């Protein structure tokens, strides 16, 4: 089993990832600025400031896989890309696999279509977060090949306002937004976590971004 560290481990996506990883028997450390009011059984919690390089360095020395599940909003706007910039070389030094949960904005709406962020349907207030996570993806793609990484973009309707249910299934594509037969682009937090842990365990997308949906 792997030692998995989840940055943002008490957030919407992070807590689902931590729960799925623990259920599969992995040793999980969830990192956040504050301890959760309702901690998950089997998860170890560490509080600290992930923007401090020495804090990140200490975490990476004790893990096999680190998942960046931070949201680039609020007082973390502009800071997630900074955290990633520290993580990328540090993960390579420690031979730690780095997984990043991005957004749907950078996905194309069809094979020949524009990116979702470039369409009129994309809310203007979401653009700064999406642009920041696009920069993180570009930094990963430019990293030395010694770094092992993957980057997951969920469906357009993903998050605390679209919780959905655990179905146990999902589909993946490359850079194109995924829709179901009814034209919806959705994914629950629980099924996103399944996709993340499947990737951690199976290594299907080495140094690639991929999209997940139904």
Q: 3-213 maps to which CATH number?
A: 3.40.50.720
pLDDT of residue 35: 92
pLDDT of residue 66: 98
Q: Where are the domains of the chain?
A: 3-213
**Model confidence at 99, in pLDDT bands (50, 70, 90)?**
very high
Query: Please, how many CA atoms are within 13 Å of residue 37, restricted to the half-sphere of its CB?
Result: 0
What digits encode the pLDDT tens for the residues 130-141? Answer: 999 999 999 999
What digits encode the pLDDT tens for the residues 168-180? Answer: 999 999 999 999 9
pLDDT of residue 96: 98
- The predicted model gives 102-113 an average pLDDT of 96
Computed over every residue of the chain, the mean pLDDT equals 96
What digits encode the pLDDT tens for the residues 64-87? Answer: 999 999 999 999 999 999 999 999
Question: SS3 for the chain, per residue?
Answer: CCEEEEECCCCHHHHHHHHHHHHCCCEEEEEECCCCCCCCCCEEEEECCCCCHHHHHHHHCCCCEEEECCCCCHHHCCCHHHHHHHHHHHHHHHCCEEEEECCCCCCECCCCCCEHHHCCCCCHHHHHHHHHHHHHHHHHHCCCCCCCEEEEECCCECECCECCCCCCCCEEECCECCCCCCCCCECCHHHHHHHHHHHHHHCCCCCEEEEEEC
Q: Which two tokens stand for residue 156?
A: 């357009």
- The predicted model gives 15-32 an average pLDDT of 98
CB 112 within 8 A of CB 103: no
Backbone phi and psi for residue 197, each to the nearest 5 degrees, phi listed first: -70, -35
What digits encode the pLDDT tens for the residues 141-194? Answer: 999 999 999 999 999 999 998 889 999 999 999 999 999 999 999 999 999 999
Report CA-CA distances (Å) from 160 to 64, 104, 141: 28, 15, 29
pLDDT of residue 143: 97
Predicted structure pTM score: 0.95
- The predicted model gives 31-37 an average pLDDT of 94
pLDDT of residue 179: 93
Percent of the chain predicted with pLDDT > 90: 99
The Cα 88–Cα 91 span in angstroms is 5
pLDDT of residue 47: 97
pLDDT of residue 8: 97
């Amino acid at each position: 089993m792997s030692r998995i560290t989840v940055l943002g481990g008490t957030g919407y996506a992070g807590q689902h990832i931590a729960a799925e990883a623990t259920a599969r028997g992995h040793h999980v450390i969830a990192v956040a600025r504050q301890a959760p009011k309702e901690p998950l059984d089997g998860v170890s919690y560490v509080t600290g400031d992930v923007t401090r390089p020495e804090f990140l360095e200490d975490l990476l020395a004790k893990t096999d896989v680190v998942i960046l599940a931070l949201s680039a909003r609020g007082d973390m706007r502009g800071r997630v890309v900074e955290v990633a910039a520290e993580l990328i070389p540090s993960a390579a030094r420690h031979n730690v696999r780095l997984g990043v949960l991005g957004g749907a904005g950078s996905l194309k709406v069809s094979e020949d279509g524009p990116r979702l962020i470039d369409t009129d349907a994309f809310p203007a207030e979401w653009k700064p977060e999406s642009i920041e996570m696009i920069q993180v993806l570009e930094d990963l793609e430019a990293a030395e090949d010694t770094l092992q990484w993957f980057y997951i973009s969920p469906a357009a309707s993903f998050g605390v306002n679209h919780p959905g249910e655990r179905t146990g299934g999902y589909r993946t594509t490359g850079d194109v937004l995924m829709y179901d037969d009814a034209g919806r682009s959705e994914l629950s937090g629980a099924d996103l976590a399944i996709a993340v842990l499947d990737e951690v365990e199976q290594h299907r997308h080495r140094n690639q971004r991929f999209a997940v949906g139904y």
